[in-house]
Amino acid sequence: MQQNNTLNPIPIIFIIVFICVLVFTVPMYFRYQTRMDAQNELAAQQYLKQVAIATAESKNESAKFEAQAEVTRAEGVAKANKIIGDSLTNNEAYLRYLFVNNLEHTQNQIIYVPTEANLPIMEATRLK
């Protein structure tokens, strides 16, 4: 029998071609991957920007509604104060009634009653 000592060139050529393909395609793949990572990061940043804008807009809208509610509340209080003030104007008897009625709920308190000149009588020496 005769032995064939020659090497088959096909596997060697295949390996060389494979290595050459890897040498050229691997850097291309890494550049592609880097570009895709950058695009994904850009998209994520744009999304976060949109979320921040939407959040700020909703806070702005909420603040406007809260301010409007506060104005409405203040208008209601002003109307109530006007009604109370109008009902107490020139109504000395009702004010005296409220004063006397509230005296029942005071215990151990000093109450200063205004005189004709609307000046209270001070009893500072009484507490010594």
**pTM of the model as a whole:** 0.47
Quick: pLDDT tens for 71-100: 999 999 999 999 988 887 887 887 778 877
CA distance linking residue 81 with residue 71, whole number of Å: 15
Residues 94 and 88 sit within 8 Å (Cβ to Cβ): yes
| pLDDT confidence of residue 98 | 81
Domain residue ranges in the chain: 9-104
User: Interhelix angle for 9-88 vs 92-103, to 10°?
Assistant: 110
Cα gap 121→114, rounded to integer Å:
7
Q: Please say whether the beta carbons of 87 and 79 come within 8 A.
A: no
Q: What residue has token string 């009902």? A: 87
